[in-house]
Homo-oligomer: A and B are copies of this chain.
Amino acid sequence: MTHQMSEGMRACIEDCFKCHSVCLGTATAHCLEMGGKHVEPDHFRLMLACAEICQTSANMMLIGTELHRRTCGICAEVCEACARSCEHVGGIQECVEACRHCAESCRRMAA
């Protein structure tokens, strides 16, 4: 991170890595152990896709091109979709909240 980086961007990078960590960690620990609807293909793929785009969204901000607006925009959408899917599965509220928070943060950076 750099001195020139805005507080908003700094916070958004942290929110992205937090959401990446919660999605990847919840999917591979909690969801795989629970089985059933927790490993329903579309839900599980969405959790992995959310972890992936959050990581890249953070990296695009760190690399420092204007293109981060575009990746933050997609990241916000994927996080919203993942939050809805996690809500539907139930019992993974930490994931719902990390996704919602990251979506909000990314929407601000995308604007």
**Which residues, 49 to 99 on A, are CB-close (under 8 Å) to B?**
49, 52-53, 55-56, 58-60, 62-65, 67, 70-71, 74, 77-78, 81, 94
With A17-B17, A62-B21, A64-B45 given, is the CB distance from A29 to B52 under 8 Å?
no
Produce 1/0 per residue, A19-42, CB < 8 A to B.
Answer: 001101110111011010001011
- A5 part of interface (Cβ distance < 8 Å): yes
Partner of A63, one of B22, B49, B56: B49
Interface size class of A (residues with CB under 8 A): 35 or more
Check B60–A32 contact: CB distance below 8 A: no
Copies in the complex: 4
- A46 part of interface (Cβ distance < 8 Å): yes
> A residues near B, CB below 8 A?
1-2, 4-5, 13, 17, 21-22, 24-26, 28-30, 32-33, 35, 39, 41-42, 44-46, 48-49, 52-53, 55-56, 58-60, 62-65, 67, 70-71, 74, 77-78, 81, 94
